Each structure stands twice: as C-alpha cells, then as structure tokens.
Amino acid sequence: MSLRTAIRHSRSLSLSAFGARFASSAAKLPTLKERLAQLIPAEIENVKAIRAEHGKKAFGQVTVDQVYGGMRGLPALLWDGSVLDAEEGIRFRGKTIPDCQQLLPKAIGGSEPLPEALFWLLLTGEVPTQEQVQELSKDWAARAAIPEFVEELIDRCPGTLHPMSQFSLAVTALNHDSAFAKAYAEGISKKDYWGPTFDDSMDLIAKLPNIAGRIYRNVYGRGKLPAIESTKDYSWNLANLLGFADNEAFVELLRLYLTIHSDHEGGNVSAHTGKLVGSALSDPFLAYGAALNGLAGPLHGLANQEVLVWLRKMQGKIGVNASDDDVKEYVWSTLKSGQVVPGYGHAVLRKTDPRYTAQRDFALKHLPSDPLFRLVGQIYNIVPGILLDAGKAKNPWPNVDAHSGVLLTYYGLDQMQFYTVLFGVSRALGVTAQLIWDRALGAPLERPKSYSSTAIKHMFESQK
Ligand SMILES: CC(C)(COP(=O)(O)OP(=O)(O)OC[C@H]1O[C@@H](n2cnc3c(N)ncnc32)[C@H](O)[C@@H]1OP(=O)(O)O)[C@@H](O)C(=O)NCCC(=O)NCCS
C-alpha cells in the first residue's frame, strides 16, 4: 500500500469508526478528548507522508538580516490551528473572525461566538454542536477550583506586584498537580503523552478565571470571589468572578474578546514560548507560565495596557475633545521622544488587524457615542499617515491592542494593568491546543543553531 493510500485508508478507517460509533448511539456525540483520539492517528500518518515526500526540500532561505532581525518571516514552525496572512489577518482552522462569529455556537440569546467552541475548532478543525460546547462549559466549570496553596500564594502577593506577574506565578504553581509530570515520572510511553497533556490543558484553562478573578479582587479591593456556576458558560463565569456578570453586553464582549485573542499562528512571542518550553516536555502549566511572561512584554500583550496609558496621557495633555492638529502633534511628540505608538504596527500584518475591526464593530453596536471610542476613531484617521511619513514602521495600521482597553473601560473595567491578564486567559486556548498537538505528533526538543558575529563575517569573507 502506498503512503498516500495508507493515509486515505487510515482517515477513512477513523471516520468509519466514528460513524459506527455514532450509529450505535445516535444521541451520544463524542467528547472533545474522544474526538481528538479519533483524529490523531490519521494526522500522524499525514505528517509522516509529508515528511517522506518533501522532508529534504527547502521552502525558504535564511538571510543574515533575519538572524539579526528577530527571525522575522523565517519559516521554521509547524502549527495547524491558525494561520496569519499579512493582508487578510488571522484564520482559525481556515475560518476568519466573521466566519467564526457566524458559524460557532453562541450563548442562548447571545450573538458572539463562545470561546469553548473556538477551542474545539482549534483542536479538531471542526465546528462543535451546541450540546458539545455546553458539555465543555460544564467540564471547565467542574475543573475550575484552584488548590488552597495557590489561593494563598495569590493572596500574599503585594498589591503593587503587576497582575501579570501574579498570574504567571499562580499558573506555574499549578504544576504541583500536573497529570503529565506525574505520568512522565511513572514512565508513560511517548505515544500516550498527549492524553495527560490534554487533561492538564483542560485543568489549566478551567482554573484561569478563578486565578484572574482572585488577582482582580485582591489588587483592586473588590471583595470576596463568588463561586463558579456550573450551568453557565466560561465567559459568564469569568465576568461574574470579576463582578460584571449582571451586564449582558459585557459578558458578550468577553465572549468575543476571549475568542479573538486566543491564537495568532505559532510564531508570536507567547505562542512560540509555550511551544518552545513545552518541547522540553515541561508540562502545560510550566509552559504556559513561561508564555505569560512573554505576553507581559510591552511590545506584545502589555500593549493593550500601554494604549490606555498613552490615551489617558494624551487626554491629560491636550484635553478630551482635542482637534486633529493637537492629536497629530501629540503623536509626533511620542515618536520624537523615541517611543512607539502603542497599538499600531505588527510583525506580520500589513493591514488593519481584523481583531481591531471586530472590536470596532462591537463598539459601533454597543457604545457608538462613547468619547474614548470616538478618540480611538480619530487616532485611526491620523496615526497611519504619521507612521508612513516617519518612514520606519512596515505596518502603520492598528493591531488588536489599539481597541480592547477602550471597550473594557466603557463597562467599568478601567484598571488597565489588568488588561493583559484577560489576554492571558484567552491565549491559553491557542497555546494549549498547540501543546496537545505537539505531544500527539511527537514534536521534538526545539534547538535552533546560533552563530557569533565573527563566524558570520568569516563565512562571507571566504566567499568573496
Ligand atoms: C508590533 C511591533 C513590535 C512589530 O515590530 P517589528 O516587526 O520590528 O516592526 P517593523 O519592522 O515595522 O519595525 C521597523 C521600525 O519601525 C518602528 N515601529 C514599528 N511600529 C511602530 C509604532 N507603532 N510606533 C513607532 N515606531 C514603530 C520599530 O520600532 C522599528 O524601529 P527601529 O528600526 O528604530 O527599531 C511594533 O510595530 C511595535 O512596537 N508596535 C507598538 C507596540 C504594539 O502595539 N504591540 C502589540 C503588537 S500586536
């Protein structure tokens, strides 16, 4: 049997096994873990076939500039969950954000996709049923409690410690109960790694709202944390832990927010950090703790905090209803003092980020005349032209972070230092989905080669 036939055979086998199972109990749909178990064997064969046929072919070259330039554009990573096109923006398993808004299950009465559904899509490439999503919400609610010592750890953090540092500390500490670390110590076989990685990932995602809620309430003095409600979806529970669940529009915003921040292909700092650390077979808690530390950088996830800080400073300096000329002058003063305009530019994108557009559409629907939203719109008409005139940024357009803080502020969540924590809750969906597939496909330890400047010089001198 040729390799291609073998793949087709194994795929149809797994599908027919699925069909048979489905026929024998028509009402019982597979859980996420069961569905993954069905999909993994065919994907292992698929990867084997690609490597057998194309393994020795090159599909890019490495320039010296890429070595010095943060590996920009270097084709070096595998991730099927999402792909980022410079012009079009993100697609999750082939689906754009508007596709997801249309196709993924929503809460009853809601119109934004549920992040539970996005996680299912990232892992399987399939749109789950409403019932499967509800089961996932229930499963996460059942796993949501955090160990007492992690609660104490958070409670002991000084309020002056940045919420992202508290967040990464708590996530790392969850490794105390890692199913993967335990199974590894007991000698689990390589081919079974993905199972406990999946269990840890589900636990990790499930526990993030309790961690985020606790940090929020401690730092901002918001009182006692309510209990998780097992009949409610993930975003509602997170909103409730933060104290905002009585505002249905805010809950809808969180559903959208957690969906669109989840994944942005494999090369961004948080996704790649998770993958890199996971490649050492560090468990999902350790890998995601590391990813969060990358997300906490101002050029990455912290930019959503930075945008609000920058907007507030601008308002302090030029007033709330400033003229275009005043805004232009303020933007130029930011650039001239050697700072970046937060929320603008991107390492891959060359157009307005569709995640920005999705949030703008939400704002147009729910808060069209909010003054801060209007300022964001005014800036959108001004900053790209200035960045183009300044002549450095390859992409003068806004990214996801240019908008999120404005929406959160509108609903009263105006503690900007907390914004990246919400980003971190969402990004766990993408990073863990990647970790699970990496373990399923037997991804090896990452180990690229580094060179010294002397070696690079010599390499080309000898070619003169
Ligand atoms: C996202 C970001 C880090 C991408 O970096 P990058 O891939 O190196 O971007 P570029 O190749 O366009 O950078 C070329 C130059 O333009 C500058 N530039 C890029 N975006 C800029 C911005 N928003 N404001 C001012 N200058 C910017 C870079 O700092 C760089 O300057 P340098 O040559 O002096 O080092 C960058 O656009 C940035 O700092 N943006 C603001 C922070 C932000 O919003 N981050 C969230 C990203 S989702």
Nearest atom, ligand 1, residue 70 CA = 8
Alpha-carbon distance of 367 to 184, in angstroms, equals 50
Please name each of the domains of the chain with its CATH number. Answer: 130-300+414-441 (1.10.580.10), 302-411 (1.10.230.10)
Q: Return the structure tokens found at 229.
A: 């409600």
Q: Is 332 in the pocket of ligand 1 (CB under 6 A)?
A: no
**Residue 292, both tokens:** 């969060």
Model pLDDT, residue 26:
53
The Å distance, Cα 329 to ligand 1 centre, comes to: 20
Nearest CA to ligand 1 atom 14: 393
Atom 44 (ligand 1): residue with closest C-alpha? 343
Pocket test for ligand 1, best of 71, 299, 388 (most atoms within 8 A of CB): 299
CA distance 45 to 28: 28
Cα separation, 244 vs 242, in Å, equals 6
Q: What CA–CA distance (Å, rounded) separates 307 from 319? A: 17
Mind telling me the catalytic residues?
Answer: 300, 346, 401
Q: What share of the chain is helix, strand, coil (3-state, %, to 5)?
A: 65, 5, 35
pTM across the whole model: 0.93
**CB-ligand 1 contact for 303 (6 Å cutoff):** yes
Q: Does ligand 1 come within 6 angstroms of the Cβ of 393?
A: yes
- Rounded Cα gap, residues 57 and 360, in angstroms: 43
CA angle at 433 for the pair 426 and 403, rounded to the nearest 5°: 25
345 Cα to the center of ligand 1, angstroms: 5
The packing angle between helices 401-410 and 354-366, to 10°, is: 20
394 lines ligand 1 (CB under 6 A): yes
Query: In this structure, what token pair is assigned to residue 102?
Result: 């249309």
Residue by residue, pLDDT tens for the chain (464 residues) are 343 433 334 333 333 333 334 444 456 899 999 999 999 999 999 999 999 999 999 988 999 999 999 999 999 999 999 999 999 999 999 999 999 999 999 999 999 999 999 999 999 999 999 999 999 999 999 999 999 999 999 999 999 999 999 999 999 999 999 999 999 999 999 999 999 999 999 999 999 999 999 999 999 999 999 999 999 999 999 999 999 999 999 999 999 999 999 999 999 999 999 999 999 999 999 999 999 999 999 999 999 999 999 999 999 999 888 999 999 999 999 999 999 999 999 999 999 999 999 999 999 999 999 999 999 999 999 999 999 999 999 999 999 999 999 999 999 999 999 999 999 999 999 999 999 999 999 999 999 999 999 999 999 987 77
- Atom 25 of ligand 1 has which residue's CA nearest to it? 340
SS3 91: strand
For ligand 1, mutation pick of 334, 344, 380, 399 (most atoms within 8 Å of CB)? 344
Longest dimension (CA), the chain: 73
Element (H, E) at 92: strand 89-92
Atom of ligand 1 nearest to the CA of 344: 23
Pull the structure tokens for residue 107.
């809460």
Determine if ligand 1 sits within 6 Å of the CB of residue 395: yes
Side chain identity, residue 132: Q
